[in-house]
Structure 1
Amino acid sequence: MYTLELASLGDICESKFVCSKSLKIPRDLTEASLSGAGLSILAALFMMFLFGMELNNYLSVSTSTSVIVDKSTDGDFLRIDFNLSFPALSCEFASVDVSDVLGTNRLNITKTIRKFSIDPDLRPTGAEFHSGPISDFIKHGDEVEEESVEGSVVLSANNFDKLSHQFPILVVNFYAPWCYWSNRLKPSWEKAAKIIRERYDPEMDGRILLGKVDCTVEGDLCRRNHIQGYPSIRIFRKGSDVRDNHGHHDHESYYGDRDTDSLVKTMEELVAPIPVESHKPSLEGKVENTTESAKRPAPKTGGCRIEGYVRVKKVPGNLIISAHSGSHSFDAAQMNMSHVISHFSFGKMISPRVISDVKRLVPYLGGSYDRLNGRTFINHREIGANVTIEHYLQVVKTEVYTRRSYKLIEEYEYTAHSSLVQSLHIPVTKFHFELSPMQVLITENQRSFSHFITNVCAIIGGVFTVAGILDSILHNTLRLMKKVELGKNF
């Protein structure tokens, strides 16, 4: 048994010698070489490159886009912002109307709308134009037209300027014979003019004169005073004309009741502050003007810029810009609805900070798809064509969700198709909008940090492994080549 134990110890010693011999690394593998150094440098550069790519991929924004059914609830409203310029539509009658398929019909919206008179070059000519509400229930007289009653003076382009500078107050009725409202006004106007003439004789008193202009005859005179609705009663005051503005006048328009008593009362209130001897307005002795709300500044120019917003239901509908009044008539042949669209968008206005975040996620969002912005629509057809300009808008809702803030924005994009249509009625500008039942959902994808660390470790291990394999192949190839050279020498 002792012999066997000695044998076993010998075997163990022999195995230890073999193990230590097998674990010994060959000298040529531990020696530095130029090829190994180059391979190590390449491996380190490649590792840094892959790490940079992975880091950039982790920090970059990744989004997913899906199309779902619109989640808007019943009763939600959509805001429409716009800035429109009409070179040939007066602010006096410019009206913003809204209608939809559910029966909503709102006329002459003023609360969220601002108007500015502009010249043909779209330049504003003054402060904001406050037209005020035009009543659809103006009182008219019951007088029957009498051929013998002619109290007002017929005005024309030849005598208009002379009389407007001669009398302190010149009140003019711009009318059209075919107009229903002009014909209703005529008996009361002539009777009131006769009463005023008797009380304030133009030759003896000379403070006020009532006149009338037939716009079918004196077309140029009416256009010079920017008359677009009939009848238009204008109040000219001596000394208020602006000579350096092509003879235009700063004057007022009368929108009050049109019966004889109301007209006479208004004229007397205009005359009361003016002394008989001087024919000039007096700063003292003014009487209380009970019809002040019926007189408002008349437009200085024939164009209008309309800006603001309206809120509409999220159903198919129309935004209409037109000349509107319940007590005036309009000559459709003279209406021109040419316009320039400076801005037209759906949804809430987005702040610049939010827009920058949106651009980071989705470069094409943030207002760049407002198709009508900056476009011009001009009616080049001849006068009398009765042309309505229509815009058909298809609106699509887009929502963007981010990992930092749950909901970033709610934006509406639209496509637009425009056309000029022959109309049998008063020409208008119509924006017909229709919302898509589907919406686009853009979501920012969350990237896992553990996945990033795993990829980095995989890069390091993979590069080391590949570098080791290449170094082994290169080393064995060089050693084989050396053996071949030694064999040739022997």
Structure 2
Amino acid sequence: MVSTSKIKSVDFFRKIPRDLTEASLSGAGLSIIAAFAMIFLFGMELNDYMTVSSSTSVVIDKSSDGDFLRIDFDMSFPALSCEFASIDVSDVLGTNRLNITKTVRKYSIDPNLNPTGSEFRSGPTAKPIKHDEEVDEEYGEGSVVLNAKNFDRISHQHAILVVNFFAPWCYWSNRLKPSWEKAAKIIRERYDPEIDGRILMGKVDCTEETDLCRRYFLDKVCRNHIQGYPSIRIFRKGSDVRDDHGHHDHESYYGDRDTDSLVKTMEELVAPISLQSQKDSGSLHNETKDDTKRPAPLAGGCKIEGFVRVKKVPGNLIISARSASHSFDASQMNMSHVISHFSFGKKISPREMSDMKRVLPYLGGSYDRLTGLSYISNPSDSNANVTIEHYLQVVKTEVMTRSYKLVEEYEYTAHSSLVHSLHIPAAKFHFELSPMQVLITENSKSFSHFITNLCAIIGGVFTVAGILDSILHNTVRLMKKVELGKNF
């Protein structure tokens, strides 16, 4: 067996008997200073160990989401009716998608940008509107001319009032005019307003009766609720007046505009209403199931939200008034809008955003740069035909966290401008994606490296303090010897 004395011989830390050691005031002071130095350096090292370090590199974009990019948006247009609001996408490769509806929702909004009801349904727009092929010059004037003075009185005299809001300069209004007047004449003969009174067809010239065409509009900043010409509205007696503003709730007609179709539609509107009930009640409402007749927007503004998928090439997202069978007065259109949200790529969860900001605290500020911004074009003569354009430079950022979790984000810069145009005003978002991406890697520090540095701190401070104590002690002894030598 190995004796205890032999084991003790390998001791690196041999002890000096306490009786042979001497405590000094200077040594105590240095010990206290050394202890504080150790605590301070330990805190610094621990903070460095806990601090996240990262490395940044720029690489070619090899995204996992393929060749397409998602754009999410939530915008409010106080002066654009949901009836005509269209979301279009185009790019440099020739892609041109018009009036996207599958992934987009529209809501009529009041002047405070609050929705006034449920989602506005545009309905199918696949087939073109049919008009009379031959124009009969002897059609006569069958519809009643309506104006601000007689509109309320006439609308309350008939169970149903069907009105054509038109503009004389409008191509589609002029195509509708012959068939509208012929249909109105036929309906007048079948349902004499003086004897029957269940239905009447009228017309309003919006270039002459501008206030009447704005009548159902609530926001003073915007221009006109009747934004497309011709607009055919169906007003129903009894349930068509709102007590809060005195405005009419009504329906829009989107069907064919030839004489036969118009007459058939008027007959369908009258059919559920008996002549006796019209005379007795005067308060009737017929729910229409035909898709050619749908509720008209309750207000002149529209909230548009949803998403579109675009190719990863320079392109455009355009919001404007669009219709294949209506005309628009460009000088009266106002594309002012408020952006509640506009971002590229998939939505980032709060937890993922927290991970990203842990790596780079300033990251994430460009994720939704347009949020909360308003772009207002005053509807004055000097600002007519104004298109609002946004130029967006998009770059992808990937963050690899310490847990090897990949977080992706698209950031962009935005520059906006108001441009005068001869065409119908629009809100345009021009986006251009960078072929490069920023890769940020979160670097974790080794625990063994932390322990090594900790030992180095303790040993180093202890050694330095020992050296200083030895120098100080020897210096004091030397000075005492010199002083004793002088005395002798």
Give the TM-score normalised by the residue count of structure 2.
0.90
Structure 2 Cα separation of the partners of residues 334 and 224 of structure 1: 15
- Aligned-partner residue type, residue 210 of structure 1: M
- The equivalent residue for 2:235 is 236
Q: CA deviation at 1:258?
A: 1.0
1:196 to 187, 192, 196: 187
- The equivalent residue for 1:102 is 93
Secondary structure of 1:126's aligned partner: coil
- The equivalent residue for 2:220 is none
- Aligned-partner residue type, residue 30 of structure 2: L
Q: CA deviation at 1:253?
A: 0.2
Matched, 1:346 2:329: no
Structure 1 Cα separation of the partners of residues 20 and 251 of structure 2: 105
Give the TM-score normalised by the residue count of structure 1.
0.90
Structure 2 Cα separation of the partners of residues 228 and 24 of structure 1: 99
- Aligned-partner residue type, residue 448 of structure 2: S
Structure 2 Cα separation of the partners of residues 460 and 29 of structure 1: 26
Q: What are the within-5 Å matches in structure 2 for residues 45-64 of structure 1? A: 45-64=36-55
- The equivalent residue for 1:316 is 314
Secondary structure of 1:380's aligned partner: coil
- The equivalent residue for 1:432 is 430
- The equivalent residue for 2:291 is 293
- The equivalent residue for 1:472 is 470
- The equivalent residue for 2:169 is 178
Secondary structure of 1:234's aligned partner: strand
Q: CA deviation at 1:119?
A: 2.2
Q: CA deviation at 1:24?
A: 11
Measured at CA, do residues 35 and 454 of structure 1 come closer, stay the same or move farther in structure 2, by a change above 3 Å?
same
The answer to whether the Cα contact below 8 Å between 2:108 and 2:117 also exists between their aligned partners in 1 is: yes
- Aligned-partner residue type, residue 271 of structure 1: V
Measured at CA, do residues 160 and 141 of structure 1 come closer, stay the same or move farther in structure 2, by a change above 3 Å?
same
Matched, 1:450 2:448: yes
The answer to whether the Cα contact below 8 Å between 1:143 and 1:187 also exists between their aligned partners in 2 is: no
Q: CA deviation at 1:233?
A: 0.5
The answer to whether the Cα contact below 8 Å between 2:159 and 2:283 also exists between their aligned partners in 1 is: no
- Aligned-partner residue type, residue 53 of structure 1: M
Secondary structure of 1:389's aligned partner: strand
Q: CA deviation at 1:156?
A: 0.8
Which shifted more, 293-302 or 139-148? Answer: 139-148
Q: CA deviation at 1:365?
A: 2.2
Q: CA deviation at 1:68?
A: 1.6
Structure 2 Cα separation of the partners of residues 24 and 205 of structure 1: 123
Secondary structure of 2:40's aligned partner: helix
Structure 1 Cα separation of the partners of residues 331 and 165 of structure 2: 17
Structure 2 Cα separation of the partners of residues 199 and 208 of structure 1: 10
Q: CA deviation at 1:488?
A: 3.0
- Aligned-partner residue type, residue 55 of structure 1: L
Secondary structure of 1:469's aligned partner: helix
Q: What are the within-5 Å matches in structure 2 for residues 39-438 of structure 1? A: 39-72=30-63, 75-135=66-126, 137-225=128-216, 226-279=225-278, 280=281, 292-367=290-365, 369-380=367-378, 382-383=380-381, 385-407=384-406, 409-438=407-436
Measured at CA, do residues 281 and 308 of structure 1 come closer, stay the same or move farther in structure 2, by a change above 3 Å?
farther
- The equivalent residue for 2:6 is none
- The equivalent residue for 1:3 is none
Measured at CA, do residues 179 and 44 of structure 1 come closer, stay the same or move farther in structure 2, by a change above 3 Å?
same
Measured at CA, do residues 294 and 27 of structure 1 come closer, stay the same or move farther in structure 2, by a change above 3 Å?
closer
Q: CA deviation at 1:489?
A: 2.8
Structure 1 Cα separation of the partners of residues 37 and 212 of structure 2: 84
- Aligned-partner residue type, residue 483 of structure 1: K
Measured at CA, do residues 97 and 29 of structure 1 come closer, stay the same or move farther in structure 2, by a change above 3 Å?
farther
Structure 2 Cα separation of the partners of residues 282 and 303 of structure 1: 29
Measured at CA, do residues 353 and 435 of structure 1 come closer, stay the same or move farther in structure 2, by a change above 3 Å?
same
Matched, 1:484 2:477: no
The answer to whether the Cα contact below 8 Å between 2:330 and 2:423 also exists between their aligned partners in 1 is: yes
Measured at CA, do residues 203 and 33 of structure 1 come closer, stay the same or move farther in structure 2, by a change above 3 Å?
same
The answer to whether the Cα contact below 8 Å between 1:150 and 1:194 also exists between their aligned partners in 2 is: yes
Structure 2 Cα separation of the partners of residues 165 and 485 of structure 1: 124
Structure 2 Cα separation of the partners of residues 488 and 180 of structure 1: 124
Measured at CA, do residues 222 and 135 of structure 1 come closer, stay the same or move farther in structure 2, by a change above 3 Å?
farther
The answer to whether the Cα contact below 8 Å between 2:86 and 2:98 also exists between their aligned partners in 1 is: yes
- Aligned-partner residue type, residue 193 of structure 1: A
Structure 2 Cα separation of the partners of residues 244 and 137 of structure 1: 38
- Aligned-partner residue type, residue 137 of structure 1: P
Q: CA deviation at 1:311?
A: 1.0
Secondary structure of 2:441's aligned partner: strand
Which shifted more, 112-121 or 332-341? Answer: 112-121
- Aligned-partner residue type, residue 473 of structure 1: I
- Aligned-partner residue type, residue 418 of structure 2: L
The answer to whether the Cα contact below 8 Å between 1:335 and 1:426 also exists between their aligned partners in 2 is: yes
Secondary structure of 1:124's aligned partner: coil
Measured at CA, do residues 27 and 149 of structure 1 come closer, stay the same or move farther in structure 2, by a change above 3 Å?
closer
Q: CA deviation at 1:433?
A: 0.3
Larger CA Rg, structure 1 vs 2: 1
Cα-to-partner distance string for 1:442-465 (whole Å, 9 max, x where unaligned): 100121222222212211221121
- Aligned-partner residue type, residue 113 of structure 2: L
Q: CA deviation at 1:426?
A: 0.6
Q: CA deviation at 1:485?
A: 2.5
Structure 2 Cα separation of the partners of residues 369 and 260 of structure 1: 54
The answer to whether the Cα contact below 8 Å between 2:314 and 2:431 also exists between their aligned partners in 1 is: yes
Q: Which sections of structure 2, spanning at least 5 residues, go unmatched?
A: 1-13, 217-224
Q: CA deviation at 1:116?
A: 1.4
Structure 2 Cα separation of the partners of residues 111 and 258 of structure 1: 27
Q: CA deviation at 1:281?
A: 7.7
The answer to whether the Cα contact below 8 Å between 1:273 and 1:283 also exists between their aligned partners in 2 is: no
Which shifted more, 199-208 or 239-248? Answer: 239-248
The CA RMSD over aligned residues, in Å, is: 2.3
- Aligned-partner residue type, residue 348 of structure 1: K
The answer to whether the Cα contact below 8 Å between 2:355 and 2:401 also exists between their aligned partners in 1 is: no
Q: Which sections of structure 1, spanning at least 5 residues, go unmatched?
A: 1-22
- Aligned-partner residue type, residue 192 of structure 1: A
- Aligned-partner residue type, residue 149 of structure 1: G
The answer to whether the Cα contact below 8 Å between 2:135 and 2:178 also exists between their aligned partners in 1 is: yes
Cα-to-partner distance string for 1:98-135 (whole Å, 9 max, x where unaligned): 11111111111111111111123323222222222334
Q: CA deviation at 1:145?
A: 3.5
Structure 2 Cα separation of the partners of residues 191 and 89 of structure 1: 32
Structure 2 Cα separation of the partners of residues 133 and 424 of structure 1: 30
Which shifted more, 325-334 or 368-377? Answer: 368-377
Q: CA deviation at 1:283?
A: 8.7
Q: CA deviation at 1:278?
A: 2.3
